[in-house]
């Protein structure tokens, strides 16, 4: 099985690579690439994201054909794709970080700044927070509710359809931290930085 981590110059993804290699085993071929043909021939794709919504979208679009290839993979061919942090946020129609920026439009919704309640809550939201699993999700198999995951973000994805939400976390408000829509999965938290529980989520995705 081929699992591809998309490398589109979105920041340091070494921890993503290391965690997938730690979990994968010999039966899984983990590749890190922006080569369109290798992405097309993959069984599963991981879309990481560090930095701002705009910078990540711009980086994706700077690689000719990449946005179209990812859309074909996830939307047309319905193959499993996991977005991490900004990788999840980019599923949205639009984001408002830095400036209004059009997203991939895979899941209707927007990405807005977390309400800090006039500074009562520090931004970015950094550190460990409990997640509340709100629907049965394939990537949460064997994960206990209220498990702690590691977060680093100032913006949140707000989907139009609440049925895609698989987990939330409480910070200044109830924040969407995981989604599942058919073959598309996303986590606002970083499973690759969330210790053994995070590795279990990666394992669940690989074994879909």
Q: Has 72 been annotated as catalytic?
A: no
Q: Is 35 exposed, middle or buried (0-12, 13-18, 19+ CB in 10 A)?
A: middle
**Pick the catalytic residue: 68, 72, 85, 144?**
85
Whether 85 sits among the annotated catalytic residues: the reply is yes
The catalytic position among 97, 156, 180, 192 is 192
Residue tagged active-site, from 97, 125, 180, 190: 190
User: Is residue 190 flagged as an active site residue?
Assistant: yes
Active site residues: 85, 190, 192
């Amino acid at each position: 099985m081929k699992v591809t981590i998309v490398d589109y110059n979105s920041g340091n993804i070494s921890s993503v690579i290391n965690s997938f290699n730690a979990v994968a085993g010999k039966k899984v071929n983990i590749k890190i690439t922006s080569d369109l043909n290798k992405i097309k021939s993959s069984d599963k794709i991981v879309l990481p994201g560090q930095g701002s919504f705009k910078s990540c979208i711009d980086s994706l679009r700077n690689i000719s054909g990449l946005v179209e290839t990812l859309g074909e993979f996830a939307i047309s061919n319905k193959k499993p794709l996991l977005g991490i942090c900004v990788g999840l946020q980019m599923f949205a129609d639009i984001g408002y970080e830095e400036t209004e920026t059009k997203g991939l439009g895979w899941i209707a919704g927007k990405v807005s700044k977390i309400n800090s309640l006039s500074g009562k809550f520090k931004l970015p939201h950094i550190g460990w927070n409990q997640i509340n699993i709100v629907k049965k999700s394939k990537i949460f198999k064997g994960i206990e509710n209220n498990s702690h995951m590691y977060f680093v973000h100032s913006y949140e994805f707000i989907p139009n359809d609440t049925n895609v939400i698989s987990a939330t976390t409480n910070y200044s408000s109830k924040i969407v931290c995981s989604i599942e829509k058919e073959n598309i999965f996303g986590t606002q938290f970083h499973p690759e930085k969330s210790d053994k529980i995070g590795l279990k989520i990666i394992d669940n995705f690989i074994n879909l």
